[in-house]
């Protein structure tokens, strides 16, 4: 039998829908489902004080989520018979974990214990022969003394741990036992006390050849750790919400290497007022996020010769698109959402010739100069949603932009948009003066405008298309 069009449509939907289906195991008190062929038992946020019986003896289970409950004691054989690879016990009140809680031959590779009441690492961790990911942040929660990263237990896990997250608001020194993790690839320090101002230069020595991702956030550090320069394979460095750093704390010595590999750097909310000169020592840098810094000035020298392709600057109090950005010859994505831009001036974007994706959303923009983009041939997508614009900027008339996002901007739709229909392919957003999507107005109404007819003639189906559109039940979506 030859498939009909409707049969093919049903088949196509069946193919693209995500695989999230219930699976047939006893699951009393929890929710069980398949996600991307993996069996998941979700018992999160149910005020549980003990592990439900339905969690035990479940074969072929990939993930067990018990987060956000009131568990205080993990008992022997709570996970007996399960094959879970990923277990989430975060945001509970766990003080004790019995030695046999996870069994002798556990399959657990990822264990989340953050935000509990653990005073020290439990002995049960040494039974997890396959564990490679461990999160012990905020332990014990609301306590004055951070968790003890016990030497013997850290050493026992040293051969398998590849991702480790730790930190506490009263952490006052760098834990030397982290040096046991000699295959570490992803490390996060989240929170520290006023006493920990500088991380020792040799802190990363044991995994300087393996670490790929480093995250240091919400600390009281006063400078980027000098040890970053020793990381031979580092690809991402997220140094965020370290408000005591300031401009002086982004020290060049932390980034000087003969063969740097760093491609992604975020310096979000680090109390910076300018682009760090240290960026000049990272020739491999491609992605930079400077959001939530009160940037007063961006000098030519600070970004000269940088190879950045993706630049994000949210909430930086910028009232102009910085002229210095024209030095970024390889920049393809510029995101300046949530600033204080009121106008986009002559050639502001033309001077950044390789930009394909521009985001200026949630700025109080009232005016975009007709020459703001110049003859920009690379520009493909522009997000000017939630601005104070009232018309589609004529500046797009000289571009080849494919998509413009005007959602939340009060755009008046009118016959003057004859030029738009031949320039822009896709619009997002609604007309302010008529209950229509901007894209539908441009496609259905403008072809009947006098200026359009004078220039291009009356299309054979233009009137019928508009009539059919008006009669359709889903005409607007606005």
**CATH number where 174 lies:** 3.80.10.10
Of the residues 155, 184, 213, the one at which a domain ends: 184
Q: Is residue 448 part of a domain?
A: yes
Higher pLDDT, 260 or 178: 178
Q: Is residue 274 part of a domain?
A: no
Contact between residue 421 and residue 397 where contact means Cβ atoms under 8 Å apart: no
Q: Is residue 383 part of a domain?
A: no
Of the residues 184, 218, 243, the one at which a domain ends: 184
Contact between residue 146 and residue 171 where contact means Cβ atoms under 8 Å apart: yes
Phi-psi region of 26 (alpha: psi -120 to 50; beta: other; left: phi over 0): beta
Q: Is residue 163 part of a domain?
A: yes
Of the residues 138, 169, 184, the one at which a domain ends: 184
Number of compact structural domains in the chain: 2
3-class state of residue 311 by DSSP? strand
Domain containing residue 30: 24-184
Q: From CA 427, how far away is CA 420, in angstroms rounded?
A: 10
pLDDT for residue 25? 56
Q: Is residue 231 part of a domain?
A: no
Q: Is residue 53 part of a domain?
A: yes
Task: State mean pLDDT over 224-230.
Answer: 96
pLDDT for residue 216? 98
pLDDT for residue 4? 46
Least confident of 16-25, 286-295, 449-458: 16-25
pLDDT for residue 400? 85
Asked whether residue 58 carries a pLDDT value surpassing 80, the answer given is: no
Mean pLDDT across the chain: 90
3-class state of residue 133 by DSSP? strand
Q: From CA 59, how far away is CA 72, in angstroms rounded?
A: 26
Q: Is residue 60 part of a domain?
A: yes
Task: State mean pLDDT over 241-268.
Answer: 94
Q: Is residue 265 part of a domain?
A: no
Dig out the tokens for 237 from the structure: 């460095």
Dig out the tokens for 86 from the structure: 């990923």
pTM: 0.89
Q: From CA 33, how far away is CA 227, in angstroms rounded?
A: 44
Dig out the tokens for 280 from the structure: 């000049």
Task: State mean pLDDT over 388-407.
Answer: 92
| Phi, psi angles (nearest 5°) of residue 16 | -90, -15
Q: From CA 222, how far away is CA 192, in angstroms rounded?
A: 12
| Residue 123 binned pLDDT confidence (cut-offs 50, 70, 90) | very high
């Amino acid at each position: 039998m030859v498939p009909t069009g409707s049969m093919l449509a049903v088949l196509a939907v069946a193919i693209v829908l995500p695989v999230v289906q219930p699976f047939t195991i006893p699951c009393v008190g929890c929710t069980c489902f398949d996600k991307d062929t993996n069996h998941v038992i979700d018992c999160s946020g149910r005020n549980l004080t003990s592990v439900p019986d339905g969690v035990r003896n479940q074969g072929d289970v990939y993930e067990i989520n018990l987060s956000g409950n009131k568990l205080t004691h993990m008992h022997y054989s709570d996970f007996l018979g399960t094959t879970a690879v990923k277990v989430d016990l975060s945001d509970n009140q766990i003080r004790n974990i019995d030695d046999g809680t996870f069994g002798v031959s556990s399959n657990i590779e990822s264990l989340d214990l953050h935000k509990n009441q653990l005073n020290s690492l439990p002995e049960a961790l040494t039974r997890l022969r396959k564990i490679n990911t461990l999160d012990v942040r905020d332990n014990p929660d609301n306590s004055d003394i951070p968790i003890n990263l016990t030497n013997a237990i850290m050493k026992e896990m040293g051969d398998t741990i590849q991702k480790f997250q730790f930190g506490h608001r009263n952490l006052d020194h760098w834990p030397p036992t982290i040096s046991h993790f000699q295959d570490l690839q992803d490390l996060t320090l989240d929170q520290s006390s006023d006493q920990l101002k500088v991380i020792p230069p040799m802190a990363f020595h044991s995994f300087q050849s393996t670490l790929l991702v480093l995250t240091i956030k919400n600390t009281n550090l006063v400078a980027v750790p000098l040890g970053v320069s020793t990381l031979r394979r580092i690809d991402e460095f997220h140094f965020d919400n370290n408000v005591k750093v300031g401009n002086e704390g982004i020290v060049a010595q932390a980034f000087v290497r003969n063969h740097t590999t760093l491609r992604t750097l975020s310096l979000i909310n680090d109390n910076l007022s300018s682009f760090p000169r240290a960026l000049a020592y990272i020739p491999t840098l491609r992605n930079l996020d400077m959001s939530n810094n009160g940037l007063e000035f961006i000098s030519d020298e600070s970004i000269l010769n940088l190879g950045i392709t993706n630049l994000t600057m949210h909430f930086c109090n910028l009232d102009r698109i910085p002229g210095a950005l024209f030095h970024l010859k390889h920049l393809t994505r510029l995101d300046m959402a949530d600033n204080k831009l009121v106008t986009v001036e002559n050639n502001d974007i033309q001077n950044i010739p390789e930009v394909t994706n521009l985001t200026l959303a949630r700025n109080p923009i009232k005016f975009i100069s007709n020459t703001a983009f110049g003859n920009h041939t690379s520009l493909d997508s522009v997000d000017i949603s939630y601005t104070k614009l009232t018309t589609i900027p004529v500046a797009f008339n000289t571009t080849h932009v494919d998509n413009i996002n005007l959602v939340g901007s009060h755009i008046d739709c009118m016959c003057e948009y004859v030029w738009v229909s031949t320039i822009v392919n896709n619009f997002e957003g609604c007309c302010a003066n008529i209950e229509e999507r901007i894209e539908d107005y441009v496609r259905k109404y403008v072809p009947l405008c006098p200026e359009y007819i004078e220039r291009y003639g009356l299309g054979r189906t233009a009137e019928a298309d508009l009539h059919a559109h008006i009669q359709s039940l889903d005409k607007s979506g606005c």
